[in-house]
Structure 1
Amino acid sequence: MAVPQVTYDDVLAARELLKGVIAHTPVVHSRVLSESIGGPVYLKAENLQRAGSFKVRGAYVRIARLTDEERARGVVAASAGNHAQGVAFGSGLLGAKSTVYMPEGAPLPKVEATRGYGAEVIFAGHTVDHALQAARRHADETGAIFIHPFDHPDVIAGQATIGLEIIEQLPETGTIVVAIGGGGLAAGVALAAKHLRPGVRVVGVQAERAAAYPESLAAGHPVMVEPQFTMADGIAVGRPGDLPFEMIHYLVDQVVTVSEESLSRALLLCLERGKMVVEPAGAAGVAALLDKPHAFEPPVVAVLSGGNIDPLLLARVLRHGLAAAGRYLAFRIRLADRPGALAALLRRLAELKANVLDVVHERVGARLHLDEAEVLLQLETRGPDHCDDVLAALRRDGYKLIFS
């Protein structure tokens, strides 16, 4: 492969361009994660960045380095949302017209925010890779400058400024844990951090339903995979970028994957214990820490890469996270259809200290006998052990439980 096209001097130059444009986001200590791994853990809060994610760094640097003639032709980008907002925001500051292609089903708040920053939004396909193809065609047809979300030296240099900040804010950092989609963020962070602190470990994290890097690293070159649905839409990229892949191959120490359950638990922890609103992709590093708390050399810095989450998705993910944490339980239960049966069940749940959130009582259905009723219950519980206790007690009482 070609020699990487991003240098430490490029990163320093990008930081100069970004002065007065971006926020210098804090590194916040997490007591609960520190207790979990047995050493200090900090969160680099890029969810508090302007436009809600790290993406504004690379997008602004790329657009700022265009010539006046190039900016006059306008820019075009493709994104599930965060890069879209970064391009729209940067274009507005620099006086360039922007067009952004987004996949169908992109989160509505990200779509509206992108339009709010002045970009024209066009939907294309169902994945970021489909949107990328449409954006490239637009660039070919109109002469607009294509702003790649991760596979360009200027973009990587902009994202790399996060690595500079982390080591300057916490010089003793032992491990940086960072989400990987196309790879621009992880590549940049590794480049800058390892230049300042050669012994630091950098661990990349992918959603297991959209994990192109493990297969690509094993093959020695970028491999295309078809991403499955994942709540972490911000890192659901089917093929690594050529330049980020090369840099990650040499600079990133390990790439791990996390499940949807781990992502939802991480988001819940960030919100409940860290008081941080984070999107699922932004919580990927925290998910990795929760999965294998003793696999990371402290002090650890996990990058919260974005906070742009649809409130409706947040509600669903929180419910998912509560269930994964053993604090939310939903099931059907078969009862005798006689007066007092439902009241007796609810009294029993009260005795078991389970808080009933919702009850749906069904007395007529093809699967029910004439003397049966079925109840859909949603309960708030106090953890996995409490869930087990409640279910075991109901079974001992003779109730038929149905999970579906």
Structure 2
Amino acid sequence: MIEITQVEDLPSVQSLTLNLSATKNQILHLNTPLVESLAISKQYKETGSKVWLKLDALQPSGSFKIRGIGLLCNKVVKEKNVKHLICSSGGNAGKSVAYAGKKLGIKTTIVLPKGIPQEVQEKIRDEGAIVIEHGNIWNDADILAREIADKEGFDGYIHPFDNPVLWEGHSTMIEEVYQDYLDGKTEKPDVVVCSVGGGGLLVGILQGLEKVGWSDVNVIAVETYGSHSLWKCFQNKQHTVLDVCDVTSVCKTLATRSVCKDAWEAAQRFNVTSVLVSDKEAIEACLTFVDQERVLVEPACGAALAAVYKKVPELVKLSPKNILTIVCGGNNTSISQLNHLSNLFSTHTTTCPYPPKHDPLEIPKTLLTTRLTTTTTTTTN
């Protein structure tokens, strides 16, 4: 941890940025904008809070994933002479690996669970990747990806969220916010709000906060009912793997059976609070966000936005003056898909406070039946 005793001791961004010892074209992610959302801040006018958006939806791969994945792909290609990158994914990690492989001139194979939109698969193929569908959620796809990697060279296997190099890459997001703070463009956040799937983004954020001396900052970690593995860890006070039948969220890139163990361990060391929102709330947040900010994100990202829009009690009780919201992005959506899902949920309530037993009104019957009959075993986040 960085200990800061005087203003002049504040670390500069030069001392924090990753040293790839490589040419500029091997840094595959962008330094994304940090902007205040005037529209969302108006909802907090009674407390005078400002809502800041870290717009990683603007990354060339469509999501924050390219930060860590770009770093890891660079590393294995340079240090281990990997010629084939293999990744299991709910969509976003696969798109990032495919993008990285194209930039590095490396063959890529992406294994996706069934149900990933054809438009997303096409985006990945457009980067030159081989796309394979296998299984019904990410855990199934990962089994096949590992089998392929065993034959092709396991150094080329890129885990979508559970790897220290990924977390190091994701931490650059907070370093950029910190540099904006040093430059007087923003204020220190009182709380960071992010979505959680496998936990890679969460670990990266926590490591980034520690790097810049902001370990006191609160983090609201948001999941949807049916992708609530971190919430379950907090409930059980131990790392927990969800039953297959409990992974029911329409947010495919959050829907993994468990967060990585490091995410659970890190969440206990920092000021992390687990929050749940419904699929419907995540979808409606995406539609509101695209209207207000003209940025399209998938429901997995909408989970974090929903917590801010609905002013969840866990956030309000912190009385934050500056709320940093991670707009992690995502490829698994379109306006038509969001409207379609919104219509499916339109006649159903979203008041179920906890997910152990799904309220039949919470999940439209047509969706629930489909998922329970096809699921056997992703993540952005």
TM-score, normalised relative to structure 2: 0.77
Amino acid in structure 1 at the alignment position of 2:62: G
Matched, 1:115 2:132: no
Residue aligning to 2:227:
210
Structure 2: distance between partners of 1:72 and 1:32 = 46
Q: Which runs of 5+ in 1 are unaligned?
A: 1-7, 326-404
| Alignment of structure 1 residues 183-332 onto 2, 5 Å | 183-196=199-212, 197-225=214-242, 226=244, 227-293=246-312, 294-296=316-318, 297-311=320-334, 312-319=336-343
Q: CA RMSD in A?
A: 2.7
Contact in 2 for aligned 1:57/1:158 (Cα 8 Å):
yes
- Provide Cα deviations, 1:66-121, integer angstroms capped at 9, x if missing partner: 15473434121100110001001111222221111100111222211111111111
Matched, 1:143 2:180: no
Structure 2: distance between partners of 1:22 and 1:73 = 21
| Alignment of structure 1 residues 297-376 onto 2, 5 Å | 297-311=320-334, 312-319=336-343
Q: Give the match's secondary structure for 2:96.
A: helix
- The match for 1:106 among 116, 122, 145 is 116
Residue aligning to 1:134:
144
Residue aligning to 2:97:
87
Amino acid in structure 2 at the alignment position of 1:181: G
Deviation at 1:17, TM superposition (A): 6.4
Corresponding residue pairs, total: 319
Residues 249/308 of structure 1: CA separation in 2 closer, same or farther (3 Å cut):
same
> Which structure has greater strand proportion?
1
Structure 1: distance between partners of 2:82 and 2:75 = 13
Deviation at 1:301, TM superposition (A): 1.1
% identical aligned pairs: 25
Q: Give the match's secondary structure for 2:304.
A: helix
Compare 142-151 and 302-311 and name the one that shifted more: 302-311
Amino acid in structure 2 at the alignment position of 1:132: D
Deviation at 1:166, TM superposition (A): 2.1
Q: Give the match's secondary structure for 1:262.
A: helix
Deviation at 1:29, TM superposition (A): 1.5
Deviation at 1:173, TM superposition (A): 1.2
Matched, 1:159 2:170: yes
Deviation at 1:11, TM superposition (A): 6.8
Residue aligning to 1:33:
40
Structure 2: distance between partners of 1:315 and 1:35 = 25
Matched, 1:44 2:46: no
Contact in 2 for aligned 1:194/1:200 (Cα 8 Å):
no
Q: Which has the higher contact order (CA 8 A, sep 6+)?
A: 2
Structure 1: distance between partners of 2:347 and 2:147 = 43
Residues 167/230 of structure 1: CA separation in 2 closer, same or farther (3 Å cut):
same
Amino acid in structure 1 at the alignment position of 2:340: R
Q: Give the match's secondary structure for 2:76.
A: coil
Structure 2: distance between partners of 1:116 and 1:83 = 15
Amino acid in structure 2 at the alignment position of 1:101: V
Structure 2: distance between partners of 1:97 and 1:184 = 24
Deviation at 1:273, TM superposition (A): 1.5
Matched, 1:177 2:177: no
Compare 56-65 and 247-256 and name the one that shifted more: 247-256
Q: Which runs of 5+ in 2 are unaligned?
A: 1-12, 181-185, 350-381
Deviation at 1:318, TM superposition (A): 4.8
| Alignment of structure 1 residues 17-32 onto 2, 5 Å | 20-32=27-39
